[in-house]
Amino acid sequence: MNYTSRKRLLSLLGSMLLIVCWCTGCGNLSYDMAYHVDYDVSSFNVVTRQETRTAVPFAENLCVAAGNVLSDTVDMSHAEAAGLFGLNERQVLYAQNIHERLHPASLTKVMTALVALKYGQLNQTLTASDAVNITESGAVLCGLRAGDTMTMDQALRILLIYSANDAAMLIAENVGGSVERFVEMMNEEAARLGATNTNFMNPHGLTESEHYTTVYDLYLIFNEAVKYETFNEIIHMSGYQTVFYDKDGKEKAFDQQNSNQYLRGERQIPANVTVIGGKTGTTNAAGYCLMLLSRDENGAPYISIVLRAEGVEELYMEMTDLLDEIHK
């Protein structure tokens, strides 16, 4: 057999061997290809790696508590849920039922303000529609009527200082294009922040059966809102005076104190604690609610929340107990 014939035969045998291997799956062949999630090429790190070779946890800069963190010196017997969160140390100093779904009343308006600050402009003019005509008994209103106008800056101050429900509707319709779309934006923002036990049905907090949140979710929302300088400025004000306009251009005066009794000087604050501000809320379903941003003598920030207190006296008594925990 000459060289050319042998070459053709070897080529034919090689082709047959390849066909046999392909048909049988080459079951005995294996590849030593080690894998570890910390390798640069792992999908785990391709997606999540920043400057290190490990993933950055979602809650790295957040306070986290799975259950209750109680204290013998805090009397929370007249409230359903409460929490105290140290922002600098990312520490939960107190927790009672912080993951229980409850009605938030007007604490809802913190999310309303957050979405407005994120997607609106402070100098934009807002025009009221019939959506501001809230008829629920006892609802706090600033007297808006269809055709009235004010700036976003005015509306946010009336919303957070006086807790006007018609101001919430005004903001929602003008920022979202409709109240329904704005509420969707509120829930989208809650999901983005990890507030997975929250569902908003309206921008003001008046009672609806599927409108709920938790102490922990409110901490997440408030913690995001206080990143806005305008929000911090507003919640620290003891009152607000302004003038807005009706559909004919006539002036309508507004002059109200902050609903927060700490800021009005009606409640004593523990020594070496400064209350920056916060949000109050009250409905029959939600009870009495309060959320605060405070600082200790070194300027370290804290968020404290009480939900569903039995009365206004119990609310401030128990909130003061929480603030006392800052120095322990």
Catalytic positions are: 106, 109, 163
**Contact, 112 vs 203, CB < 8 A?**
yes
**Contact, 235 vs 278, CB < 8 A?**
yes
Rounded CA Rg of the chain: 29
Cα-flanking dihedrals φ and ψ of residue 66, to 5°? -85, -30
**Contact, 294 vs 85, CB < 8 A?**
no
CA distance 170 to 174: 6
Task: Give the Cβ contact number of residue 51 at 10 Å.
Answer: 5
b/e sequence 185-224, b meaning 16+ C-beta within 10 Å: bbbebbeebebebbbbbbbbbbeeeebbbbbbbbbbbbbb
Closest CA to 114 of 234, 14, 267, 238: 234
* DSSP secondary structure code for residue 275 in this structure: E
